């Protein structure tokens, strides 16, 4: 409600501004503007991006009379520009070009409701502030309006020197939480101290807390003629003084949301402002009794007391209340005791209040309000009398607008709604609404606007919506509609604007949508709508704007899109595919064309070159290929984004038509050749991205000297060699405005000289070069208050030029100094960072309580030489990723690191930590990775780890743990990697499989490494059958698993794993879904290998070597066709090598050595590539690669021989069953004469 009236005040101000502008313009007919001022305006135009603007300022042409240009007015006999009004045109610019201060004759300047923040042009940028100098040159200025224009930072004190100012508006959109209080005033006296002619002051949303308590006295002394005071949500503090009454001309007072100045009580002296017409004290924690005398004001038209829940009052019968037009009382404690309370509010047009105060007497009073046209009700339905309230609403004959907020309409009869015949506008926000009620809305035949948002609807949208044939606006958001949108929507033939967002429509868009031929705006955002865009979309020939975003549309764009000849803005970001239709070229009025984030393939059609009005083109994040059409350079583009495709070939030369280009992104493609020289002629260019291509050549940074507006340059990851270069005299200021410079992997050997002259750098990436020596101290000094992202990793730096072990930067968020040669103690940032990476250096120490200074989300100090122990103080910094791997830390692991529940990744791999692991791990555990490999940890694995339901990687290999197999980890739903190798685990691997008959058991496990432990016993075939994730086939490329996105930054932590692969230990830096491995080697497992291992069809690595397995190799292994490495060496396997193993076409490594295999080695498939090492130690094998040929099959052994062999088997089985080694048993038998001879014969028979 308050927003509506703030907009009303703004609207009145705009009308005043336009009237003033018109007055200036009347005298322009015979005036000719000065050439220098025309050049100034044209330079200003170059600094503006018009892609989302409602005008491109077409009249602003060189050689024409600037006094006739849009928004420009000249006055006086000199023909100087006195008026510049570009209010509300949707202009975008990275800051205000100081050239504007050359218009020193300006009397009226309005740049409000545009975007000068630069945020839409610079990703992650915090926003530009107003120029600190320059305003003082505009000495004639009487009206200055920079409201809602995106500026951030401190309000320049230079504005306070404009002594002729009559109106000053620097307010911020208070409804935008991201902008609120992003600007501030440090010296309020300095700002308004000289503005004695000021009549209107608007500073809403500007933080004035730095100005102290004297703001009230400052206003009284400095602005005696003030009529409008609007300081809503300014963080004012200190009492409001009665001296404010000295501003006797005040007509508007807006002090909403400044609770500190009121001390809970409404100041009664406000009633003595005899000229007061508007009073807003919304949301100020006012309490007590509101003085009724305020309603006796003969001029008060607008009163907003809402949001003060403890403020009481009563509406009495006032004969002088007839001037009031709007009364906002919702969320207050007002009472309406007398039936005649409203009897004299004859002029009241808008009323907002809580429904809980509506009684029969109250309703009868409101019936006396003939002018009431808009009614806001909050909380309706919670206090009963719902039907009587609706009956009363129906009797308000002149009521045209009804707004219901946080109401419970679940018990409302549908007939109660359907009789609101006079309504033209109905808005329902965050109400408990039922489908029958919504269906009844379809009976309001005269309704022209319907807005429904945040209502708990579940079910299909009622078809009765199609009855509203007079509807002009339909806006439905944040509802839970199910099923398709009704085809009756095609009946809304008068609809001009259709907006559907954040709903769950499950059916496709109906073709009947094409019947709404008067539609001007179609916006569908974050809805379902699976299926294609209907071809009937081409019937919407009056459409100006079509945005289909983040929904499930699929398939191609229909060719009928070419019929939308009036379309000006098209944005389709869904799951569309196919080629971009050639018919796009028929949309001659298109100014903005966005197809980013789809699945389009093929080439960019040449017909795009026909879009002669196109200013904004974004085809990024698709699969487009081929060369970039040369015709694009003939368009008047200001924004061109073709990034993240598969475009190839050279970058074409740009023509004169491209001189207005401000944003060019060709990054992440396959472009070749050199950077065209014509890019250096694009003098309007602000952002240039051509990183991650295959561009070649030598680039001199001085060659960019003409691009004086360039603020963001990214050339990383090509095949370029970048040097400072030498230029002419003009090159001394090249790249002077640069704030983002990314030159990674560009063969740079010297720190760029240009950076010595740049005063503001926000993002700097010089990683992967050959820079050496010390990191320049200007990074920590000059850019202390600007630098946010710094990446100098993968260089040869040895020092940092610091005076202490603290980094002085106060704005740094991401710091990457990894992979250098830095030494000594690790420096700690003064302020908390999000990302810190000091890994792969030569640091030797760190402050004992270093994390208490950090508070980082990501901290890596891995691969250094840091010594010492960690205390509990290390847990004071809240971190998501904590990586100290490959250092020399010792002592116990602080229990709080594992028990606190705040970490996502803990990597202490390859240190000297010792002791046992803490056991008090709660269900609040947030671990996704725990890597403690290569330490001296002992004891048991804590059972409480089963509380870590998000755990994906657990690596505790190469420690001293003594425990049984942790089958209880099988309940973890996300565990991908389990590494227990090189410990002292013992017992059976699968002794508790039976407990998981009806539950999932390691459902996502891809890698399990149990090697080098003391596991024993047989493998149960059910154990393999439980490994469901290894039974699913994946695409050949595979997807990355367990890559942790780091909250708040565009980075992630990637787990690594070391496994025995193809006979060697291999480190995998990315864990893909295709990487599946089982390593059971070097244990005491026995029995036959279960045939169920053949069901693990996605298995890549299987190592069962160095055990005591017997029996045959399962033929089912031949079905594991993805297998690349198979090692069954050093067991007691017998029989022939299964011919089925030749089906393993991916098998690169095979080791069957040292078993008891017999027969011919298979001679096809991958077996033809294996040498003798794969089979040696099997005396019964023959054929290549052995020189031993395979002869005629031997005769079957005699019965006696068979009996002796069986006796040997029985004796050996008994020995093993008793737990004795065969060698020990043989030593005993050797002492028995005849038994000894029998044993030797039997053993010889066995081994041959």
Q: Give me the pLDDT at residue 727, please.
A: 54
Q: Given this model, what pLDDT does residue 572 score?
A: 96
Mean pLDDT computed over 61-69: 92
Band of residue 85 on the pLDDT scale cut at 50, 70, 90: very high
Contact between residue 1120 and residue 1099 where contact means Cβ atoms under 8 Å apart: yes
In 768-880, the DSSP E strands lie at 772-774, 789-791, 796-799, 806-807, 814-816, 823-825, 828-829, 835-837, 842-845, 858-860, 867-869
856-875 pLDDT tens trace: 788 899 999 999 998 887 88
Residue 1227, pLDDT score = 31
Cross-strand pairs, 671: 649
Q: Which of 883, 947, 877 is nearest to 919 (CA)?
A: 947
> Residue 670, SS3?
strand
> What pLDDT score was predicted for residue 339?
52
- Residue 1168 structure tokens: 């033809």
Per the prediction, the chain carries an average pLDDT of 84
How confident is the model at residue 497, as a pLDDT? 95
3-state DSSP call for residue 173? coil
Lowest mean pLDDT among 313-327, 934-948, 1136-1150: 313-327
Find tokens 């945020």 and name the residue: 119
Q: What are 713-741's pLDDT values in tens digits?
A: 999 999 999 998 765 545 556 788 899 99
| Mean pLDDT of the region 1050-1066 | 73
Question: How many Å apart are CA 595 and CA 577, to the nearest integer?
Answer: 10
Model confidence pLDDT, tens digit, residues 500-515: 998 888 888 999 999 9
pLDDT at 1192 over 90: no
Max CA pair span of the chain: 136
Please state, in angstroms and rounded to a whole number, the distance separating the CA atoms of residues 235 and 981: 61
pLDDT digits (tens, 9 = 90+) for 586-616: 999 998 999 999 999 999 999 999 999 998 9
Residues 6+ apart with CB under 8 A from 694: 670, 671, 672, 718, 719
Distance CA 437, CA 412 (A): 7
Among 1201, 1161, 1195, CA closest to 1178: 1161
How far is the C-alpha of 332 from the C-alpha of 313, rounded, in Å? 9
- Residue with structure tokens 């939480």? 177
CB 181 within 8 A of CB 152: no
Residue 339 burial class via C-beta count within 10 angstroms: exposed 0-12, middle 13-18, buried 19 and up: middle
The Cα 830–Cα 852 span in angstroms is: 11
Q: Are 315 and 339 in contact (CB under 8 A)?
A: no
Contact 977, 1042 (CB under 8 A): yes
pLDDT > 60? residue 285: yes
**Alpha carbon distance 1240, 1234 (integer Å):** 10
Phi, psi of 967 (to 5 degrees): -60, -25
Judge whether 654 and 676 are in contact, CB under 8 Å: yes
- Picking from 409, 344, 402, 340, the residue whose alpha carbon sits closest to that of residue 379 is 409
**pLDDT-based confidence at residue 417 (cuts at 50, 70, 90):** confident
604: left (phi over 0), alpha (psi -120 to 50) or beta: beta
pLDDT single digits (tens) 1066-1104: 777 666 667 899 999 999 999 999 999 999 999 999 999
> pLDDT class for 402, splitting at 50, 70, 90?
very high
Q: Which of 525-534, 621-630, 989-998 has the lowest mean pLDDT?
A: 989-998
Average pLDDT over residues 175-201: 82
- Per-residue model confidence as pLDDT tens digits over 765-778: 999 999 999 999 88
pLDDT at 1052 over 80: no
Over residues 1001-1012, mean pLDDT:
93
């Amino acid at each position: 409600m308050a927003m509506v009236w703030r907009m009303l005040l703004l609207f009145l101000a705009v009308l005043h501004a336009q009237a003033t502008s018109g007055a200036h313009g009347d005298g322009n007919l015979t005036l000719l503007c000065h050439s220098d001022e025309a050049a100034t305006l044209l330079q200003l135009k170059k600094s503006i991006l018009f892609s989302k603007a409602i005008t491109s300022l077409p009249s602003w042409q060189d050689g024409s009379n600037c006094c006739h240009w849009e928004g420009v007015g000249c006055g006086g006999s000199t023909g100087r520009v006195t008026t510049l009004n570009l209010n509300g045109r949707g202009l975008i610019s990275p800051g205000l070009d100081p050239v504007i201060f050359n218009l020193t004759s300006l009397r009226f300047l309005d740049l409000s409701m545009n975007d000068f923040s630069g945020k839409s042009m610079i990703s992650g940028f915090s926003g530009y502030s107003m120029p600190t100098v320059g305003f003082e040159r505009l000495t004639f200025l009487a009206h200055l309006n920079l409201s809602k224009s995106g500026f951030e930072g401190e309000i320049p004190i230079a504005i306070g020197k404009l002594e002729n100012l009559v109106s000053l508006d620097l307010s911020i959109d208070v409804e935008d939480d991201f902008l609120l209080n992003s600007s501030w005033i440090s010296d309020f006296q300095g700002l308004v101290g000289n503005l004695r002619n000021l009549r209107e002051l608007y500073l809403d949303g500007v933080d004035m807390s730095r100005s102290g308590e004297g703001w009230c006295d400052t206003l009284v002394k400095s602005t005696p003629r003030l009529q409008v005071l609007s300081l809503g949500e300014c963080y004012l503090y200190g009492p409001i003084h009665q001296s404010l009454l000295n501003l006797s001309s005040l007509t508007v007072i807006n002090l909403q949301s400044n609770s500190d100045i009121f001390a809970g009580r409404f100041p009664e002296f406000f009633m003595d402002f005899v000229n007061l017409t508007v009073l807003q004290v919304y949301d100020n924690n006012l309490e007590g009794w509101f003085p009724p005398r305020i309603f006796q004001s003969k001029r008060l038209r607008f009163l907003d007391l809402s949001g003060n829940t403890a403020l009481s009052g009563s509406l009495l019968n006032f004969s002088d209340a007839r001037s009031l037009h709007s009364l906002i009382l919702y969320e207050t404690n007002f009472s309406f005791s007398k039936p005649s309370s409203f009897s004299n509010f004859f002029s009241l047009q808008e009323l907002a209040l809580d429904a809980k105060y509506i009684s029969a007497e109250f309703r009868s009073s409101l019936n006396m309000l003939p002018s009431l046209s808009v009614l806001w009700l909050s909380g309706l339905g919670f206090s009963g009398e719902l039907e009587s309230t609706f009956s009363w609403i129906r009797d308000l004959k002149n009521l045209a607008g009804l707004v219901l907020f946080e109401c419970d309409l679940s018990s409302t009869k549908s007939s109660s709604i359907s009789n609101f015949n006079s309504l033209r506008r109905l808005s329902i926000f965050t109400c408990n609404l039922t489908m029958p009620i919504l269906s009844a809305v379809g009976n309001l035949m005269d309704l022209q606007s319907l807005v429904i948002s945040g209502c708990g609807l579940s079910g299909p949208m009622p078809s009765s919506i199609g009855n509203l044939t007079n509807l002009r606006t339909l806006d439905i958001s944040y509802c839970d509609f199910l099923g398709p949108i009704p085809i009756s929507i095609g009946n809304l033939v008068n609809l001009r604007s259709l907006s559907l967002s954040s709903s769950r429509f499950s059916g496709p868009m109906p073709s009947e949508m094409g019947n709404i031929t008067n539609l001007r705006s179609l916006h569908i955002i974050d809805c379902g709508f699976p299926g294609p865009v209907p071809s009937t979309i081409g019937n919407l020939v009056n459409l100006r704007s079509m945005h289909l975003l983040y929904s499930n549309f699929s398939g191609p764009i229909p060719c009928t899109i070419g019929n939308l000849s009036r379309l000006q803005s098209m944005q389709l970001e869904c799951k569309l595919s196919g080629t971009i239709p050639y018919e796009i070229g028929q949309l001659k009025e298109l100014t903005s064309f966005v197809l980013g984030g789809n699945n389009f393939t093929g080439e960019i059609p040449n017909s795009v070159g026909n879009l002669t009005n196109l200013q904004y083109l974004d085809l990024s994040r698709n699969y487009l290929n081929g060369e970039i059409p040369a015709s694009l350079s003939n368009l008047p583009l200001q924004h061109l984004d073709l990034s993240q495709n598969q475009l190839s070939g050279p970058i074409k030369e740009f023509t004169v038509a491209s001189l207005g280009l401000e944003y060019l992104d060709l990054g992440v493609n396959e472009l070749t050749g050199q950077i065209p020289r014509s890019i250096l002629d694009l003098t309007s260019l602000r952002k240039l991205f051509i990183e991650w291509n295959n561009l070649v050549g030598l680039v001199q940074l001085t060659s960019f000297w003409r691009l004086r507006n360039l603020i963001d340059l990214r050339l990383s990851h090509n095949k370029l060699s970048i040097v400072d270069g030498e230029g002419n005299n003009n090159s001394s200021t090249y790249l002077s405005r640069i704030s983002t410079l990314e030159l990674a992997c560009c063969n740079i050997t010297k720190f760029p000289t240009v950076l010595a002259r740049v005063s503001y750098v926000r993002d700097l990436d010089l990683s992967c070069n050959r820079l050496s020596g010390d990191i320049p101290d200007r990074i920590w000094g000059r850019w202390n208050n600007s630098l946010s992202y710094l990446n100098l990793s993968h260089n040869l730096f040895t020092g940092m030029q610091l005076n202490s072990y603290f980094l002085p930067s106060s704005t740094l968020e991401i710091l990457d100094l990894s992979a250098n040669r830095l030494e000594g103690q690790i420096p700690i940032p003064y302020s908390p960072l999000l990302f810190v990476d000091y890994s792969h250096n030569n640091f030797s120490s760190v402050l004992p309580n270093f994390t208490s200074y950090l508070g980082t989300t990501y901290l890596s100090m891995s691969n250094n030489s840091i010594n010492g122990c960690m205390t509990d103080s290390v847990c004071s910094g809240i971190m998501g990723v904590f990586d100290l791997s490959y250092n020399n830390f010792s002592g116990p692991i602080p229990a709080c690191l594992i028990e606190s529940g705040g970490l996502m990744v803990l990597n202490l791999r390859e240190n000297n930590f010792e002791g046992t692991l803490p056991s008090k791990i709660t269900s609040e555990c947030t671990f996704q990775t725990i890597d403690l490999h290569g330490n001296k940890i002992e004891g048991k694995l804590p059972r409480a780890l089963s509380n870590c339901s998000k755990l994906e990687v657990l690596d505790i290999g190469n420690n001293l743990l003594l425990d049984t197999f942790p089958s209880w980890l099988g309940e973890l739903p996300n565990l991908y990697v389990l590494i227990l190798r090189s410990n002292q685990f013992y017992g059976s691997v699968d002794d508790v499989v039976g407990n998981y008959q009806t539950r999932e058991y390691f459902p996502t496990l891809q890698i399990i490494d149990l090697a080098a432990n003391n596991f024993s016993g047989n493998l149960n075939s059910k154990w393999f059958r439980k490994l469901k994730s290894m039974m699913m086939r994946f695409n050949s490329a595979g997807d990355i698993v367990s890559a942790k996105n780091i909250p708040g930054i565009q980075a992630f932590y990637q787990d690594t794993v070391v496994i025995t692969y193809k006979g060697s230990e291999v480190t995998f830096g990315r864990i893909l879904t295709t990487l599946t491995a089982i390593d059971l080697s070097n244990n005491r497992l026995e029995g036959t290998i279960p045939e169920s291992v053949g069901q693990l069809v996605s298995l890549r690595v299987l190592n069962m070597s160095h055990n005591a397995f017997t029996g045959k190799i399962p033929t089912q292994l031949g079905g594991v066709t993805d297998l690349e490495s198979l090692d069954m060496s050093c067991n007691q396997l017998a029989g022939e090598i299964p011919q089925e193993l030749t089906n393993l076409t991916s098998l690169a490594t095979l080791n069957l050595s040292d078993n008891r295999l017999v027969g011919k080695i298979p001679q096809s498939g991958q077996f033809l590539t294996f040498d003798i090492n794969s089979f040696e130690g099997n005396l019964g094998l023959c054929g290549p690669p052995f020189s031993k040929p395979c002869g005629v099959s031997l005769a079957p052994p005699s019965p006696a021989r068979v009996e002796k062999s069986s006796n040997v088997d029985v004796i050996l089985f008994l020995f093993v069953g008793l737990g004795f080694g065969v060698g020990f048993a043989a030593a005993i038998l050797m002492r028995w004469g005849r038994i000894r001879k029998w044993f030797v014969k039997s053993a010889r028979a066995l081994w041959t």
